[in-house]
Structures are given as structure tokens and as C-alpha cells.
A and B are shown apart, each in its own frame.
With several copies, the nearest count.
Chain A
Amino acid sequence: MSVTVSSIAFAIARANEAMGPLEQVLNDADAKLGDGDTGGMLARVIGKMAEVDLSGAVDPGTALSQLAKAATLATGSSLGTLFATGLLAAGREAKGREAIDAGDLSDLVATARDAMIARGGASLGDKTVLDSLDAIADAVKDARTPDQAASAAAKAAADALEAFRSRPNRIGRARMFGDQTIGIDDPGMLAIRELTAALAR
């Protein structure tokens, strides 16, 4: 089994559903050290992506690019733009391939991660979504099916959140708070855990 345009559309629809109860949770997490908009922003971005009609997309890569463009219209926040950046990079890489095999997912996530590092200037270890993606890229390496990949991703994102909780934020608004960020979840990493969990369900 592989990832197709319609399974991408399905995943986005499911993520969009999941954002309902998540919006406030993520806002609250961001409010502790940032400006409290991570949830509202993600809801807007994913909502905009869910509106995109992917039926005309010739392949999964094109679908990812279309979703990226939708995201660029919906937000100016760091995380939103990084999402769009990652989707665009993955989409470019996948362009032309009729389907994405489960075995290709690790490389695609790594591509997204690297584009986001280049765009945002943060490093692995700074306690951001990058660390979640990095863990996911690693975890889905041996997945044979999209479902296996989803479970592995959900577990990796949950583990990464746990592992980084005790470390300080070193980028974005939260950085201003220095060691006060120790013990607090990064809202971006929390978002990834919740969204991957929703996809794995």
C-alpha cells in the first residue's frame, strides 16, 4: 500500500477534524511562553488546506505543493510558514511519482525537516517541531504500510515531546524566557504529537 492523492486528502480532513478540540489546548500551551496563537493559527492553516480541491492533482507531490500554497495564504506565523516550507520541499521531491511508498516516507520527512532548518535558521536540539520531525523521520524508516508509518510517527512524536520537556527552548518567542522553559512543552512539538496521534487512530 502507498500514499496517494486521496489518502493525503483523507489525512488532511482527519487533521482538520482533530483541530476542533485541539485549538484551545495548543493556544494555552503557547500562551505560557509565546503569544498564545499556535492553536488558532494551525486551525486556520489546516482548515485552509482542507478546503483545497485536490481532485485535479496529478500525483501526491502536486497535492503537497497545492497544500503548501494554501498554507502560505493562511498565516504569517513561524510555524505556519515552516509547515508550508516542509510541504513544498516534500512536494517538489515527490513530484512526478505516481505514488509515495511507505518506504519513501522517511526521506520525505527528512527533506521537509531540512528545508525547515534552512528556512527558519534553528538547529536540531532547539526544542522545536524540527526535533519532532527528526524523530519521525527516523521512526518511519522501516514502515511497510502507511498505517505502520502513522503509528510509528505518533509514538516517535510522543517520545520526543517527553524527551525535550526537561530542556530549554532555544528559538522563537519562547527563547526570551530561557531556563523558565524547562519543564514546559513546546507548543509546536505538542501539535505534532496530537496531530500524528489523530492520524494513527
Chain B
Amino acid sequence: MKKLMNKPSGFVDEMLDGLVSANPSLALSGETGRVVHRATTIRKGKVGVVSGGGSGHLPLFTGYVGEGLLDGCSIGNVFEGPTVGSCMEAIRLADGGQGVLRLYGNYGGDRMNFDMAGEMLEDEGIRTTTVLGNDDVASAGPSERQKRRGVAGIIYAYKTAGALAETGADLDAVTAIAQKTVDRTRTIGVALSPCQVPGSDKPSFTLGDNEIEMGMGIHGEPGIWRDQLKPADTIADEMIERLLADKPEGVGSRASILVNSLGATPLEELFILYRRARTQLEAAGITIVRPLVGHYATSMEMAGASISLCFVDDEIEALLAAPASCPFWTVTA
């Protein structure tokens, strides 16, 4: 796979350098050089919201640092968790005296690192809470929801927690809204072709010439089935069906939808998927609010798409509508 890069060892640091120099609202800090945070210092009294994860998923994770979203983000090598040190630095920078929510995807490595960071910071008197994104319905059954991996749907929790934190809400409230948002968000992805970690000599997985995999994870974790490519409408139908079969208990009939490119899949194809998804949701009595279509959480040049549903209530819907601005997502009042 051809990549526009220099040495693989510089991939992440050069990318971060470019990211923050192209976006003056962001700054890069820390002994590790792997913490992206808002260029302004945190407002005293504001609860901090931080995330983190491996590189290779832009706009995730660092791209969501901005007003009404994240305060900071620790970032690891490609598909590798952020270091404990960078997690600590991100949390410290996001602490305005009212504590910090750690909001990240449910991956073993990331959990270890954020947990360890949190424990080590307790000694410094920084209070932290944790909410784990676990929206990927393909990664475990409904009875083992806490084992599910986090994928694109986490941006809904970034948005609601970030918006509530801006209002001056306390750590418990910010944590609660993030948890509620995660609890109401479901995602499924379909992969059409793999990506390749810089420096690796082979792709992260292989698929046949005309083969796709339903439910594959964003690092190539095995999915639900492999089969020949099918028409977009057939694929959208199955994705929506699986999401609705996993609809959380007790939610209403309004949902936001995110149709996300895993990387190489162009906007044209996303809109073809969206069109069918919307039809199927409406047929199921669901009203779509604030649809999002685009590149929100990728795996570099992987081809494929994911669909997320966030079943809103009045509180979530209002927070999704609150102003927000980061390099890749702007919501205006």
C-alpha cells in the first residue's frame, strides 16, 4: 500500500506536528509530545473531558479537541494505545479543579493505561471518572455489552459530555450524560478492503477481490460474516436491522445517525448508504435528527463504512444541538 509518508517511525509525530500547526486552536504538549489539547488553558471550574487512543483513526481522537467537545487527548502510535505518561499529562492539562472525565473506547490496552494514569494522579489530588465507548454491536452479544469495543459512535458522547461540561456542570453530571449517551449508541461496520500500519510489510488483514466483511473492527478484528460484495441497499438493510435488533431498552423513536467512512470509501457511497438507511429507519417509525455523513472515525485507507445510531432523549438532543467547534466538526447555534 502506497503512503505519503517519510520514515514509519516519524509517522505519528509528523502527523501531529502538521495537525496542530494547521489548526491554531490546538496545541501539542507534554514530555511525551503526544498530548493534543486546546490552545487555551482550561477554564477554572470547568470539568475536563479527555479521550485517547491509537493513531490512524483521524478525525478520532485528537481531531475532536475543541470548544464544546474534548479538552485534551493522549495519542499513541498507530493502532497502539497512548502511553500512561501521556494519559497523565492529558488529564493534568484538562484539570480545572473540578475533575476530569476519561472518555475513551473499550480496548484492553487503553483501559490499562488510563486506569494506571488515573491511579497515579489520585496522589496529585485530581479526581477522575471513566466512561468507556462500547458501541460496536458486532464485537459481542447484547448480554456481554460491557465487552464490546468502542468505534465511531463515541463522538456522540464527546459531543454531549463536552457540551454539558461547557455549561459548568459538575463531574458527576458530565459523567452521567456521557454514560447515558454511550448506553444509547450502537454501531456496526462493514469492511471492503484493509489498511496497512506504516512500516508493516503487509495489510492488517486480507479480503478476496470481491469479498466484504460485516462487523469487522477498526483494526481488522474479525466480524460476523464474510461474503461476496452485495448491493448497497442490501448492506444498509442488514446494518440497520442489526442496529435495531440491538435497540436499547426504553428509548424513544428519535435517533441521530452517523454514516461514517472507514477511510477510502468516498462521500458518494456514504450518501447512497444513508439514503437507504433513512428509508428503513422511517419505515421502522424512527425519526432522524441531526444526521452526520462523512469521515468521522477512520482506519487510514481502509475501505468500508460504519453506521451508528444514537437514540436521543430531549437532553441528548439539546446537547447535540449546542455550539461546538473542532477542526472536523462544527455545530453552530
User: Direct contact between A and B in the complex (CB less than 8 angstroms)?
Assistant: yes
The total of Cβ contacts below 8 Å across the A-B interface reads 65
Q: What is the minimal beta-carbon distance from B219 to any residue of chain A, in angstroms?
A: 8
Please give me the residue from chain B that is nearest to A70 by CB atom. Answer: B85
Contact with B along A51-76 (1 / 0, CB 8 A): 00000000000000000010011111
Please give me the residue from chain B that is nearest to A172 by CB atom. Answer: B108
- CB-defined contacts of A78 to chain B, threshold 8 Å: 81, 108-109, 112
Interface residues of B in 59-93 (CB under 8 A from A): 76-77, 79-86, 88
- CB-defined contacts of B81 to chain A, threshold 8 Å: 76-78, 81
Q: What is the minimal beta-carbon distance from B53 to any residue of chain A, in angstroms?
A: 9
Among B83, B88, B197, B222, contact of A76 (Cβ-Cβ < 8 Å): B83
| A84 contacts the other chain (CB 8 A) | yes
- CB-defined contacts of A121 to chain B, threshold 8 Å: 108
Q: Interface on A for B, CB 8 Å cutoff?
A: 35-37, 69, 72-78, 80-82, 84-85, 119-121, 171-172, 176
- CB-defined contacts of B31 to chain A, threshold 8 Å: 73
Evaluate contact between B80 and A81: CB separation under 8 angstroms.
no
Instruction: Pull 20 A–B residue pairs with CB atoms less than 8 Å apart, ordered by A.
Output: A35-B80, A72-B84, A72-B85, A72-B120, A73-B85, A76-B113, A77-B80, A78-B81, A78-B112, A80-B83, A81-B81, A81-B83, A81-B112, A84-B84, A85-B116, A119-B115, A120-B108, A120-B112, A171-B108, A172-B108
CA distance A35 to B197 in the complex (A): 9
Evaluate contact between B116 and A84: CB separation under 8 angstroms.
yes
| B215 contacts the other chain (CB 8 A) | no
Q: What is the minimal beta-carbon distance from B226 to any residue of chain A, in angstroms?
A: 15
Among B76, B84, B86, B221, contact of A176 (Cβ-Cβ < 8 Å): B221
- CB-defined contacts of B116 to chain A, threshold 8 Å: 72, 81, 84-85, 119
CA distance A69 to B120 in the complex (A): 10
CA distance A165 to B112 in the complex (A): 26
Q: What is the minimal beta-carbon distance from B238 to any residue of chain A, in angstroms?
A: 23
Q: A36-B200, A76-B76, A119-B112 are in contact. Are A81 and B221 (CB under 8 A)?
A: no
- CB-defined contacts of A85 to chain B, threshold 8 Å: 112, 116
Q: What is the minimal beta-carbon distance from B4 to any residue of chain A, in angstroms?
A: 22
| B48 contacts the other chain (CB 8 A) | no
CA distance A119 to B109 in the complex (A): 10
- CB-defined contacts of B110 to chain A, threshold 8 Å: 76
Contact with A along B207-229 (1 / 0, CB 8 A): 00000000000000110000000
- CB-defined contacts of A81 to chain B, threshold 8 Å: 81, 83-84, 109, 112-113, 116
Q: What is the minimal beta-carbon distance from B149 to any residue of chain A, in angstroms?
A: 12
Please give me the residue from chain B that is nearest to A118 by CB atom. Answer: B115
Range of interface residues on chain B? Answer: 20 to 34
Evaluate contact between A76 and B108: CB separation under 8 angstroms.
no
> Which of B77, B82, B200 has its CB near the most chain A CB atoms (within 10 A)?
B77
Evaluate contact between B54 and A76: CB separation under 8 angstroms.
yes
Q: What is the minimal beta-carbon distance from A100 to any residue of chain B, in angstroms?
A: 23
Contact with A along B30-48 (1 / 0, CB 8 A): 0110000000000000000
Shortest 8 CB-CB distances between A and B: which pairs? A72-B84, A76-B81, A73-B85, A76-B76, A72-B85, A76-B83, A81-B112, A78-B109
Among B112, B120, B200, contact of A82 (Cβ-Cβ < 8 Å): B112
Among B76, B79, B83, contact of A72 (Cβ-Cβ < 8 Å): B83
CA distance A74 to B80 in the complex (A): 12
Q: A81-B116, A85-B116, A120-B108 are in contact. Are A76 and B221 (CB under 8 A)?
A: no
Q: What is the minimal beta-carbon distance from B57 to any residue of chain A, in angstroms?
A: 14
Please give me the residue from chain B that is nearest to A73 by CB atom. Answer: B85
CA distance A142 to B111 in the complex (A): 36
Q: What is the minimal beta-carbon distance from B264 to any residue of chain A, in angstroms?
A: 21
Interface residues of B in 148-168 (CB under 8 A from A): none
Q: What is the minimal beta-carbon distance from A68 to any residue of chain B, in angstroms?
A: 9
CA distance A36 to B202 in the complex (A): 11
Given A76-B84, A172-B108; 15 other pairs, CB 8 A cutoff: A35-B79, A37-B80, A72-B84, A72-B85, A73-B31, A73-B83, A73-B86, A75-B83, A76-B81, A76-B86, A76-B110, A80-B83, A81-B84, A119-B112, A120-B112
CA distance A76 to B108 in the complex (A): 11
CA distance A120 to B109 in the complex (A): 8
- CB-defined contacts of A76 to chain B, threshold 8 Å: 54, 76-77, 80-84, 86, 109-110, 113
- CB-defined contacts of A80 to chain B, threshold 8 Å: 83
- CB-defined contacts of B109 to chain A, threshold 8 Å: 76-78, 81
CA distance A37 to B117 in the complex (A): 23
Q: What is the minimal beta-carbon distance from B92 to any residue of chain A, in angstroms?
A: 13
- CB-defined contacts of B82 to chain A, threshold 8 Å: 76
- CB-defined contacts of B200 to chain A, threshold 8 Å: 36
Q: What is the minimal beta-carbon distance from A84 to any residue of chain B, in angstroms?
A: 6
Q: What is the minimal beta-carbon distance from B202 to any residue of chain A, in angstroms?
A: 9
CA distance A174 to B105 in the complex (A): 20
- CB-defined contacts of A77 to chain B, threshold 8 Å: 80-81, 109
